[in-house]
């Protein structure tokens, strides 16, 4: 099981997670290793960036591949301290994942 932890400050809870710190590192990781089974998101990243571009990229890649990019058993977590960011990630990904095969 592949697990990806995206955060510029915190460390993953244990060694079973791969760590990336930026949107571009996350995209590169997935392009090289495939989409992991689990992603844990922070919302605010360094340099005033947020995770939004990555989440939207992930969804777009899955749409382009007709639902074959994100694993069918994919799950995600949000460990961000930003309540607004947490809500955005959960809403955006949950809505897409629950309806993705209806739209494709």
Q: What is the pLDDT of residues 28-87, one digit of tens each?
A: 999 999 999 999 999 999 989 999 999 999 999 999 999 999 999 999 999 999 999 999
51 close to 43: Cβ distance less than 8 angstroms? yes
Q: What separation in angstroms does the CA of 88 have from each of 21, 28, 46, 65?
A: 19, 23, 18, 24
Q: Is the pTM of this model over 0.85?
A: yes
Spell out the domains of the chain, with CATH numbers in brackets: 3-103 (3.40.50)
User: What average pLDDT score do residues 73-102 get?
Assistant: 94
């Amino acid at each position: 099981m592949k697990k990806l932890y995206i955060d510029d400050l915190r460390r993953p809870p244990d060694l079973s997670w791969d760590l990336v710190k930026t949107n571009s590192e996350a995209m590169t990781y997935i392009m090289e290793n495939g989409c992991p089974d689990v992603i844990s998101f922070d919302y605010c990243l360094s340099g005033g960036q947020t995770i939004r571009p990555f989440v939207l990229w992930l969804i777009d890649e899955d749409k382009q591949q007709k639902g074959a990019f994100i694993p069918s058993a994919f799950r995600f977590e949000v460990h961000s301290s930003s309540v607004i960011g947490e809500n955005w990630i959960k809403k955006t990904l949950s809505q897409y994942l629950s309806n993705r095969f209806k739209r494709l």
